[in-house]
Amino acid sequence: MTWRNRGLLDQFGIQHPVLLAPMAGATNADMVIRVSNAGGMGGLGAAGLKPDKLRQVVREIKAGTELPFQVNLFAADTEHPATPAVIGPGLRDRLEGYHREMGLQELPEPRGLFGPAMEQLTVLLEEQVPVISFHFGVDQATVARIHAAGAQVICSATTVAEARTLAAAGVDAIIAQGAEAGGHRGTFQGDYSDALIGTLALVPQIKDAVNVPVIAAGGIMDARGLVAALALGASAVQMGTAFLGCRETPITEAWRQQLFSTEADQLVVTRVLSGKPARGIRNRYITELEALDEPMLPYPLQYSLSGVLRARAQAQNNPDFLAMWSGQGIGLLQETTIEALMTDLVTGARRLISEL
C-alpha cells in the first residue's frame, strides 16, 4: 500500500506507519526483527537491560534485519528518587504477609532497577541504533548528542505543553500518548492526573501545536484505529497492547490469560506497582495496596520491593502479584502472529480508506 503522507515514513526509512511500542520486559530481539521486516518499525524496551546485555541484544537485532528500529530508554533523572525510601508499617506488613504466603524470605532492600541511562545511550550510539526513544522526557543536550551521532530521537508527551517542550529540545517526532495507553504514563511535567487526555483529543492538539511529526499511541488496536489516527493528523501509530496478543510476545502465561479474559473497566492507573502511575490489569496486589492509608515508595524503589514476589508468582503462573500492563483497547485483542497483525493493519487500512 502507498501511503499519501510519506514524510515520517521516508524520514525513518520504513514502509508502513506502524511502530511496535518498546515495552520494557515485553519486547525482545525477535519481535523487533519481525515488525521491522514486515515494514513497520520494531521497538525494544531497554530500560532494564544493563549495558553489556543491551549491546548483545542490539547486535542480535541487527543480525536479523537491516531495516530501521527503535530502542527505548527511561529518562536518566528517574533512576534516583528525590525522596528517601521509607517503607510504611502497613506496606511492610502487607508485603511480608505476601512473602510468607508464597514461601519467600525477608523483603528485598529497595534499589534502583533501570539504567544507567547514559551508559545505555553510549551503547546505542556505538552500535549505531537508528532511532532512540525516551519515556519520561528528554533534555536538549541528550538530543544534541544523539543527533551528532547520526541517529534520530522520539519521545512521549501526554500534554500539549510537554509536546512543546520536546519540540523545543529538538526531537525528530513526538509520541502523543493518550490516556488509553497501557504501561507507564510518560508524563514529565505536572501531575499525571491532569494529563489523562484521550488519544482522540490529544493527537490533533499536539499536531497543531508543534512542527514535527506526531505518532499516535493509546487505544489503537486495529486498522480502524490506524486510519482514525491518520485522519487526526498523526503520521504513524505506536501500538503496544495489540502486539501483546501475538504468539511471539515474551510475556508470562498468566499475563496472557488475563489479557484475553479482561475488559477495559477492569484496568486501573495506579502508583502502587512501581511508584509511578501506570495502566494495567487490576489484581489482588493492586487492590490491597491501594487500600493502605499511607504513601508508597518513590519510583523505582516501589517496583523493586515486589521483584522477588513477582518472580515467584510468574513461576507459579499466579496473576495475583504480577504487573500486567495493558491499554484500554484490551477488549479488541486478537490471538495472532506479528506478521498476520501487520498484514491485517495494512490491508484493513487500505479497505477503510477506499470506503471512506
Residues 161 and 243 both lie in one domain: yes
Do 104 and 188 belong together in one domain?
A: no
Same domain, 29 and 69: yes
Total domains in the chain come to 2
46 vs 50: CA distance, rounded Å = 8
Q: Are residues 170 and 69 in the same domain?
A: yes
**Is there a single domain that holds both residue 343 and residue 199?**
yes
Does residue 60 register a pLDDT over 70? yes
Question: How much is the average pLDDT of 38-48?
Answer: 97
Residue that has been written with the C-alpha cell 484505529 in this structure: 225
What per-residue confidence (pLDDT) applies to 2? 66
Same domain as 188, residue 75: yes
> Is the pLDDT reported for residue 50 higher than 60?
yes
Predicted model pTM: 0.96
Question: Domain of 309?
Answer: 82-113+249-331
Confidence of residue 1 (pLDDT cuts 50, 70, 90): low
DSSP 3-state assignment of 301? helix
Same domain, 136 and 223: yes
Q: Which residue has the higher pLDDT, 2 or 139?
A: 139
| CATH number (domain holding residue 180) | 3.20.20.70
Mean pLDDT score, 331-353: 97
Domain shared by 206 and 132, yes or no: yes
Contact 37, 65 (CB under 8 A): yes
pLDDT at residue 10, as a whole number: 96
Confidence band, pLDDT 50/70/90 cuts, at residue 199: very high
Residue 183 sits in the same domain as residue 212: yes
Same domain flag for 345 and 318 = no
When mean pLDDT is compared across 79-83, 119-123, 197-201, the lowest value belongs to 79-83
CA dist 202 and 225 (Å) reads 14
Q: Are both 283 and 164 inside the same structural domain? A: no
pLDDT of residue 202: 98
Contact 40, 18 (CB under 8 A): yes
Beta strands 183-184; 278-281: pairing state: antiparallel
The larger pLDDT score, comparing residue 82 to residue 12, is at: 12
Over the Cα atoms of the chain, what is R_g? 20
Q: In residues, how long is the chain?
A: 356
Residue 85: its pLDDT value, please?
81
